[in-house]
A = this chain, B = another copy of it.
Amino acid sequence: MSSPADHPEPDPFSPAEFDAWRGLLRLHATVTGELQGKLADEHAISLAEYAVLITLVTEPDGLRMTDLAARRLITPSGISRVVDKLERRGLVARQEDPSDRRGFLSVLTEKGLRKLREAQVTHHAHVRETYLERLTEREQKTLARLLEKAMPGVVSSAVWPPGAVPAPRAPG
């Protein structure tokens, strides 16, 4: 016969490690799971699509597909399909990259901007209600500082993973 007692846990998590890991997983799954549903019901948009729109709104010149993929932490293949869907709905547009004929730039359209601003109300309200609202500003800052310490750059870096998108090219 055999039981879990015969196969002891190798190098188990301490209680503090266990709580910090499980809490992160559960909170993330709960917030994003419900958020997916609300965005789909109220705005007919997925969380992945929302993430693409919110990434592009800060890039008036657009982003190359590969860079957009790196920012969203999905593959070029996956980005190509998300952008396909958004383009069919007129929320983003593909433009040829004038500096490299292999590349395409995804840019937010006027319609995409309006859609983003509508969806953002739902998004922010939900994230606040289920996560941020019960923390003081000081606690939010402490939490962000701990996340940054756990994985340097994860909060402070303008892009993630760091260095995925090069600094703006010097003119000429």
Q: Are A149 and B132 closer than 8 Å at their CB atoms?
A: no
- Closest-CB distance, A162 to chain B (whole angstroms): 10
Task: Decide yes or no whether A121 CB sits under 8 A from chain B.
Answer: yes
Q: Are B16 and A137 closer than 8 Å at their CB atoms?
A: yes
Interface size class, chain A:
35 or more
Task: Decide yes or no whether A99 CB sits under 8 A from chain B.
Answer: no
Task: Decide yes or no whether A14 CB sits under 8 A from chain B.
Answer: yes
A149: chain B residues at CB < 8 Å are: 134-135, 139
How distant is the Cα of A121 from the Cα of B11 in the complex, in angstroms?
Answer: 7
8 Å CB interface, A107-129 against B: 110, 113-114, 117, 120-121, 124, 127-128
How distant is the Cα of A150 from the Cα of B131 in the complex, in angstroms?
Answer: 5
A142-B142 contact, Cβ under 8 Å, with A22-B155, A154-B26, A161-B30: yes
Task: Select which of B16, B134, B152 is within 8 A of A150 by beta carbon.
Answer: B134
